[in-house]
Structure 1
Amino acid sequence: MGLLAWLGDPKIGKHLLREEGEVVVDEVKHHWFAYTRPAAEAALAVALLAAVPLVHLNVGWLLLSAAAALLGHAAWCTVREQRDRFVITNMRVFRVHGVLAQHLATMPLSRILDISVRKPLIGRILGYGHFCFESAAQEQGLRDIRYVGDPDARDLAIQRVVQRAGLRGPRVPN
């Protein structure tokens, strides 16, 4: 297991109610587009490092410091995005995120009133979107889930789990 995989694993298994029969239906990681900013910062840091031999020694330390700061921030943002997971189970949905401190937000399937899927133009082209959950309690950690890959399929998965749990009433045949 690589260092990034080890640092980026939020260990969602410890949050499952296995003795109650809870199983993961879908574990949603961020779409690759969420990593473009850290990648751009890392590329800028490499460009600054490449410029160090070209400048005077008195300015070189400044470029080295800026490159180190950019690389550190890019690494932090990468690990932050990697540790942010949205999980759909047969009983609830929850989100685990945080690098040094971990935050867990849970919502039972019965409390989900509405799911809005926002797909900006670039998201429609690249295949990502953002979820907005509506429930009776508006202030919660599950309100906005950003950079969800294949949001239409994930929305259908949630609707399917809610329907199977019998929370929306019986299907009416056409």
Structure 2
Amino acid sequence: MAYGAGLVRWLGDPKIGKHLLRDEGEVVVDEVTHHWFAYLRPGFEAAIAMVLLVWSWFVSVQVAWFLIVVASALLVHAAWGALAVLRDHFVITNMRVFRVHGVLSQSLATMPLSRILDISVKKPLHGRLLGFGHFCFESAAQEQGLRDIRYVGRPDERDLAIQRVVQRAGLRGPRVPN
């Protein structure tokens, strides 16, 4: 069991440390992985594949090969989807926010804290019940690779963490007491 957990940890690690500006004093405030709800689609595909595999035992050979091929394709697609979710990390540092994602090739989208104009937190009904939401970042740029971050667990806490970091960086001006 420990070997399997280690393998999953190794496969899902996008190596965030190599993207940090350590010599500039950048430190990670929060590293966000997806909420478990993001794994439902790959899990559902894997369950359908298992049903097809079991069903292939009870049909003729002419039909069974087709079911096995379809089940294998579904299992590969489900594994790929789960790995894509596992390797998608959103990181909040004291200088910027960035997202690292990708399975074979890796993409990095970065936004300095000073460019964040607005953060919208969208929580659909099922997200409110299960504890996740979606972030939508607005910046001065029209399009950026960091616009939508979906299936963020504890979105209100993460939003407050970003607001705290922005405030501590002095990018929003001093607080005015009421």
**How far apart are the structure 1 equivalents of 2:82 and 2:72?**
15
- Distance apart, 1:161 and its partner CA: 0.2
**How far apart are the structure 1 equivalents of 2:147 and 2:102?**
16
- Distance apart, 1:4 and its partner CA: 2.1
1:36 alignment counterpart: 40
Q: Give 1:87's aligned amino acid.
A: V
2:86 alignment counterpart: 82
Q: Give 1:128's aligned amino acid.
A: F
Of 38, 51, 54 in structure 2, the residue corresponding to residue 50 of structure 1 is: 54
1:105 alignment counterpart: 109
**Cα deviation digits, residues 84-106 of structure 1 (max 9, x gap):** 11000000000000111110000
TM-score, with length taken from structure 1: 0.98
**How far apart are the structure 2 equivalents of 1:66 and 1:2?**
30
2:7 alignment counterpart: 3
1:163 alignment counterpart: 167
Of 142, 145, 167 in structure 2, the residue corresponding to residue 138 of structure 1 is: 142
- Distance apart, 1:109 and its partner CA: 0.3
**Cα deviation digits, residues 92-137 of structure 1 (max 9, x gap):** 0000001111100000000000000000011011010000000000
CA RMSD of aligned residues (A): 0.8
For structure 1, list consecutive stretches of 5 or more residues without a partner in the other structure: none
1:17 alignment counterpart: 21
For structure 2, list consecutive stretches of 5 or more residues without a partner in the other structure: none
**How far apart are the structure 1 equivalents of 2:29 and 2:6?**
26
Aligned length: 174
**How far apart are the structure 1 equivalents of 2:104 and 2:118?**
32
**How far apart are the structure 2 equivalents of 1:173 and 1:119?**
30
- Distance apart, 1:3 and its partner CA: 2.2
**Cα deviation digits, residues 137-163 of structure 1 (max 9, x gap):** 021110000000010000000000000
Query: Residues 61-80 of structure 1 correspond to what in structure 2 (within 5 A)?
Result: 61-80=65-84
TM-score, with length taken from structure 2: 0.96
